[in-house]
Structure 1
């Protein structure tokens, strides 16, 4: 029976100049469908709409044909024979059939995906947006690096509507494992080293999450696939200057290095001001004379000049202790728009990263502490001395009270540890006293009966 059916199929294949015929599409049917002078179809006699297209070149492709809910005829190519087996193509055709039954249009959806905006298009739109341009120059530079060196290579060619959390999770792993790491020339005798790592991966995906939130507000996307991707936390920055001795080593190192001309006075003074006020590095290096009022002992930074201001729209007011006022007063005076701490050359803000490494080594400070660690140090010692979260929030310019509250929790834990250490001395004495007063128990004669 099967042999006679195959024989009829062979005769039909060779004699068919155009049109189509019915047969059970399987391996034997596909193999027996020879090329002809014109294209023709073999339609499956079991699954309606499932077919095999045979071209004069001999190329064979699986297709699925259907009508939309509106009555329009559609045909979608499933794939070429060779890349797909007849069984795999049938399974995909059944999936299309189910989609059509549920009112969907597989061919229309495929066309939409093909013409949909790519992630690269979304990234381009974001970089040109006012939201991006309103960020600080340094932040824009950092974000551009993460976009161009991590997000574009891994996700740029994917369509925005079809981007899934799993795609983003894979990108996170690739960045974390260094698959986007490279060196590139960025100028004369200048190399950029893209290292990747877990921190870079977290920050890149968080940036993508923020970009999609912006895109939704601009009606460029309908969902944020990055919102469901877990990237972990940065952890707590617990490396601080522990005590007055550590601060003493820092200030002595600054005095010595400044006296020996190993660091410039504006650099040393900028570090001193960060340590004394807990201001962010960018707030100090970007400080202009128009922001300073030495009579009131205040620095007032407009919203565009500090981190939280771009979100809250509020000024950041930094109180200046007397020593900090003196540090600012001895800087070279300039016009209102001039920086308080000037670089040796050029007109930009003073650079602190490179000299800080030398200062930290000279002062024998912990290797893990950065300039931001001076900010954490001030907040931690305020908490240890009993300051409330609201006071820390005001001093450091935090946007959320919860951020300041973390220092209170840290201080409580630290105070408990200190109390345990202090009590250990008393406990040792208590134990010694107990041993001294404990002797052999001798029964008394003539005891009570």
Structure 2
């Protein structure tokens, strides 16, 4: 077709007129080499054709129609043509970036991108990248990452933690690689066909006093001092494993019996008040020189990373059926609710931002309410004499 001055409405009316998948481009007369490509699927994209310094003809995509305004697409085309006149090859530079960029570089750009957008779960993303994803594929070039690499990463994370954690990391990696495609850093995402691992349905965890004591004894017998301290602190404070794992000594105030948690799920700084057993755990825990973290791992200067094997060992030694360490948090909340602690107070101790989140523990109140009802019945029996035989009715009324 002959070139014409492209307009927004004209582009909307365009439809694919090629044959057998041939390229269909409508060229613009205002900016030479600029046009709109229509795909057999009906999709449309702004494109630019040019010749590089070696006189090789190139066709690059500037952006999708609908995501990029026509005026902005023309301006971008002019910028790229200016680059060509100064000896650059825009498409070649993009392809070189694809070959050279590593996953760590993508991660840095992605975190900044989501920070500006105000993503609420950004702290979770940072933690998952730091503890699970970067150690496995961080140094790999994006163009070299394969589906098999991601499968190995998923399996490694699941073995060290749980299928749930592996699935959260998988979802994050998939999202990041999709963004890399949008940014032109990848042609296609190697995570496109990556499936989630099966997860067991969450169940209520209510550990009895004897079971809690068995876990404490098992922790005390374990060879991994810091992992054992992590689980005892989770049991005694009800805080999330991730929050405690990233805790630094400068966030611990033993004099006032308080922790300051910066990296919380709800994205706000929270205070944790230590009970006496929790205070003893932290007071007796050795500090490692050069490592700011309370729960240290094998890597110098870093917190504990893998803890699943240790947890499985502790639960087995305690003689309990397997359950995830997050169950310690559920048991903490359940015990408080059964003991009569108001749901609002329980929610504050757990760090819930919304009271609705704590309502899932409401069914544990039935035991507390039954105890209260029975207590009133016992009081009545103690204060009155109840005859087994009903008195005869007074005929006189």
- TM-score, normalized by length of structure 2? 0.52
Q: Does 1:128 align with 2:108?
A: yes
Aligned match of 2:211 in 246, 268, 280? 246
Match of 2:61 among 99, 107, 112: 112
Residues 235 and 328 of structure 2 are in contact (CA less than 8 Å); yes or no, is this contact kept in structure 1?
yes
Cα 1:307–1:273 shift into 2, 3 Å: same
- Equivalent in 89, 113, 130 of residue 140 of structure 1: 130
Alignment of 1:342-357 (within 5 A): 346-350=300-304, 352-357=307-312
Give me the whole-angstrom Cα distance separating, in 2, the residues matched to 1:300 and 1:273.
Answer: 14
After superposition, the C-alpha distances for 1:122-147 in whole angstroms (9 at most, x for unaligned) are 96764122726976555434244797
Q: Could you tell me which residue of structure 2 aligns to residue 204 of structure 1?
A: 170
CA, structure 1 residues 180+62, in 2 after alignment: closer, same or farther (shift >3 Å)? closer
Larger radius of gyration: 1
SS in 1 for 2:247: coil
Matched, 1:300 2:260: yes
Secondary structure at the aligned position of 1:299 is classed as: strand
CA distance in structure 2 between the aligned counterparts of 1:105 and 1:327, rounded to whole angstroms: 62
How far 1:206 moved relative to its partner?
5.0
Instruction: Write out per-residue CA displacement over residues 388-410 of structure 1, whole angstroms, 9 at most, x where no aligned residue.
Output: 443233212234444323233x5
CA distance in 1, matches of 2:153, 2:176: 27
Q: Matched residues in 2 for 1:265 and 1:197: separation?
A: 25
Displacement after TM superposition at 1:332 (Å):
3.3
Q: Deviations over 1:397-424 (max 9, x none)?
A: 234444323233x535x759999xx9xx
For each residue in 1:60-118, what CA deviation from the matched residue of structure 2 results, as whole angstroms up to 9, or x when unmatched? x98577865759999x9x9xxxxxxxxxxxxx99x69x99xxx988998x852896899
Q: Tell me the CA shift for residue 250 of structure 1.
A: 1.5
Q: 1:345 to 1:209 in 2, by over 3 A?
A: closer
The 1-side partners of 2:175 and 2:295 are apart by 36
Match of 1:358 among 305, 310, 313: 313
Which residue number corresponds to residue 232 of structure 2?
272
Over aligned residues, Cα RMSD in angstroms? Answer: 5.9
CA deviation after TM superposition for structure 1 residue 119, in Å? 9.3
- 1:373 maps to which residue? 327
1:237 and 2:202 aligned: yes
1:318 corresponds to:
272
Once the two structures are TM-superposed, the CA of residue 232 in structure 1 deviates from its matched residue by 11
The answer on whether the counterparts of 1:181 and 1:193 sit within 8 Å (CA) in structure 2 is no
- The CA distance in 1 between the partners of 2:294 and 2:135, in whole Å, is 29
**Is the Cα contact below 8 Å between 2:337 and 2:364 reproduced in 1?**
yes
Structure 2 CA distance for partners of 1:366 and 1:417, relative to 1, 3 Å: farther
CA contact (8 A) 1:382 1:392 kept: yes
Judge conservation of contact 1:266–1:341 (CA < 8 Å) in 2: yes
Provide structure 2 residue ranges, at least 5 long, that are not aligned to the other structure.
Answer: 1-16, 50-58, 64-90, 113-121, 186-190, 375-397
CA distance 1:145–1:362, change in 2 (3 Å): same
In structure 2, how many angstroms separate the alpha carbons of the residues matched to 1:341 and 1:148? 23
> In 2, Cα distance between the equivalents of 1:130 and 1:65?
34
Structure 1 Cα separation of the partners of residues 104 and 302 of structure 2: 27
- Counterpart of 1:21 in structure 2 is none
Aligned residues: 296
Matches within 5 A, 1:175-190: 181-182=151-152
Aligned pairs for 1:285-434 within 5 A:
285-301=245-261, 303=262, 306-308=263-265, 312=267, 314-332=268-286, 338-341=292-295, 346-350=300-304, 352-367=307-322, 369-408=323-362, 410-411=363-364, 415=367
Residue 281 (str. 1) matches residue 230 (str. 2): no
Q: Distance in 1 between matches of 2:156 and 2:246?
A: 24
Q: Which has the higher contact order (CA 8 A, sep 6+)?
A: 2
1:268-323 deviation digits (Å, cap 9, x = unpaired):
4433222111122343344333222223211113x2xx233xx63x3221111112
- Give the corresponding residue for 2:14: none
Match of 1:128, SS?
A: helix
Alignment of structure 1 residues 166-177 onto 2, 5 Å: none
Inter-CA distance 241–335: structure 2 relative to 1 (3 Å threshold): same
Q: CA 1:153–1:72 in 2, change beyond 3 Å: closer, same or farther?
A: closer
